[in-house]
Amino acid sequence: MELIANLGNKIVYHFIKEDSISVIVNNKMAHARFIAVIDATMDGKSNQFRLKVMEVWRKEKRKWKLFARQAIRG
């Protein structure tokens, strides 16, 4: 938890752009895939990241809840 708290103070997000979004729903499960371009400043250095992201969502009591997320550089 300390690591996560420290990261929150060191990263400033300027924009997040999602592209090439695809969603497949199967009953109460869904997965979404997209490419994210993130512009952020970390420890005073400006960086731009391109990530391939996959999210798994589960429907519980009429609401979709994020079950898992995975990202790799792309």
pLDDT tens across the length of the chain (74 residues):
555 555 556 788 899 999 999 999 999 999 999 999 999 998 889 999 999 999 999 999 999 999 999 999 98
Q: What is the pTM of this model?
A: 0.75
Which tokens hold the place of 12? 């400033």
- What pLDDT score does 9 carry? 62
Q: Which residues pair with 48 in a beta bridge?
A: 39
CATH assignment of the domain containing 69: 3.10.450.50
How many structural domains compose the chain? Answer: 1
Of 73, 72, 71, 39, whose CA–CA distance to 56 is shortest?
71
Owning domain of residue 32: 2-73
- What pLDDT score does 8 carry? 55
Structural contact between residues 38 and 63, judged by C-beta atoms closer than 8 angstroms: no
Q: How far apart are CA 22 and CA 39, in angstroms?
A: 22
Of 37, 65, 67, whose CA–CA distance to 54 is shortest?
67
